Amino acid sequence: MRILFISQLFDPEYSIKGLALMQRLVAEGHQVEVLTTFPNYPTGKVFDGYSVKFRQVDECGGVRVIRLWSHISHSKSKLSRAWSYLSFTLMALFAALFSQKPDVVYTYHPQSTTGLIGLLMKLFRGVPFITDVQDLWPDALTATGMRKDGFLLRVISRWCALVYKHAAQVVVLSEGFRQALIDRGVPAQKIHLVYNWCPEEQRIATVLEQNANSSQGDGAARFVYAGNLGSAQALTTMIKALGSFDKTELTFTLIGGGVEKEQLKRFVAETGYDNIFFGDYVPAAQIFDVLAAADVLVIHLKDDDLFRITIPSKTQSSMAMGKPILMAVGGEANQLLVEAKGGEVAEPEDQLSIQQAAARLLATRQTWPELGHNARSFYQQRLSMDVNYRKLLTVLAGAAK
């Protein structure tokens, strides 16, 4: 099978369906070509070792990766970010239309704009396409503040419906997403639940082996959040909740970059919390060495109906790390952690609920190794690449037919 994979997000950025997946497809005899841009997420600055060009072609373990120019932006300006998406879409569309004809097009990120490429490839070249729903649009826009009754939102809603209608197969990351699309009229038989996995499984296994003999100390518990510091994460509530503990009980470190980082740092300085700390952005390949030193991993999202049916990618990577987890997302993500018996759950943006969950963890410190073991076992049995790769192969074969 000849597969054209299109994603604005790709390695060395933290891309779940990224280079490791492409190389695995190649190893099983498939031909894979990737259309992407130059790595810059989440800092909005092009990674070291890369410079923006009109076009750059790399061979990565048998995978042909074509990097295309796009406007680089990670600012709060809606126009700037919109141009970032649109510029990549136009460049990738042109490249796709004049590429060697594939058997199937896999449109990944962002799903709504790469869906245009899939539609036009079907229309002009007769190639079926898969759309991978990592963000449920237009719901994701209302969750970050866009008016629900706005004209633009209605346009996007109709556009997404068109993409779903013409896609040969639709991949979703949660059962909640699947049900939401069925409720919108998408045929159930072409919607496939393929859980996301952590693309750094091998790195995590190495880190865990290197730290196998490390033991937990008796000092302050080290709670760590690693990831984007943006509006969707709504981390002010988490800071308030964990900042209410004495620094001898726990410390909370937030690692990463994002549009809300400076605002959060100012909030901590103004409120005087002495157990809250910030770390710089750490590349995906190195973050697990940092997480290995944590006692509890923290996951939080804004309290929104959309997020209650999603599963943030930190769920998979945190479970794979074999650490106890404090999960405050609500809905399906909370249910997975409860099922795994891998930590404590709380309601999102609920300071008291989070404080109580953290207190339960502190009171049962002797169970942390068991909680971590449970989380990792659940990941390997339900969320790993091995398990979900086979599901994805079925989707690809179905689309190509």
pLDDT at 111: 86
Given a cut of 80, whether residue 15 has pLDDT beyond it is yes
N-term to C-term CA, the chain: 11
- H-type helices in 272-309, by residue range? 284-291
pLDDT at 149: 66
192-211 mean pLDDT: 93
Same domain flag for 325 and 179: no
Residue closest to 224 by CA, chosen among 247, 252, 245: 252
CA count, 13 A, side-chain hemisphere, 197 = 25
- Give the tens place of pLDDT for each residue, 245-277: 999 999 999 999 988 999 999 999 999 999 999
How many domains does one find in the chain?
Answer: 2
What CATH number should be reported for the domain holding residue 257?
A: 3.40.50.2000
pLDDT at 145: 62
Q: What angle do CA 385, 194, 283 make, to 5 degrees?
A: 50
Same domain flag for 375 and 388: no
pLDDT at 139: 78
Same domain flag for 275 and 137: no
pLDDT at 62: 95
For the chain, what is the mean pLDDT? 93
327-352 mean pLDDT: 98
Same domain flag for 306 and 354: yes
Same domain flag for 395 and 354: no
Same domain flag for 217 and 347: yes
Given a cut of 80, whether residue 313 has pLDDT beyond it is yes
pLDDT at 384: 97
Given a cut of 90, whether residue 214 has pLDDT beyond it is no
Given a cut of 80, whether residue 318 has pLDDT beyond it is yes
Same domain flag for 142 and 219: no
Same domain flag for 174 and 300: no
CB within 8 Å of 199: residues ≥ 6 apart: 11, 14, 15, 16, 17, 18, 19, 20, 21, 284, 385
pLDDT at 121: 97
pLDDT at 44: 85
Same domain flag for 119 and 189: yes
Given a cut of 70, whether residue 217 has pLDDT beyond it is no
364-389 mean pLDDT: 97
Boundaries of domain holding 18: 2-197+384-400
Q: Which of 70-74, 127-131, 221-225, 359-363 shows the lowest per-residue confidence on average (mean pLDDT)?
A: 70-74
Same domain flag for 112 and 236: no
- Give the tens place of pLDDT for each residue, 47-99: 999 999 999 999 999 999 999 999 987 666 778 888 999 999 999 999 999 99
pLDDT at 86: 93
Residue type at 36 in one-letter notation: T
| Band of pLDDT at residue 146, cut at 50, 70 and 90 | low
Number of Cβ within a 10 Å radius of residue 153: 17
Same domain flag for 105 and 239: no
Q: Which of 10-14, 126-130, 268-272, 372-376 shows the lowest per-residue confidence on average (mean pLDDT)?
A: 10-14
Same domain flag for 176 and 293: no
Given a cut of 90, whether residue 182 has pLDDT beyond it is yes
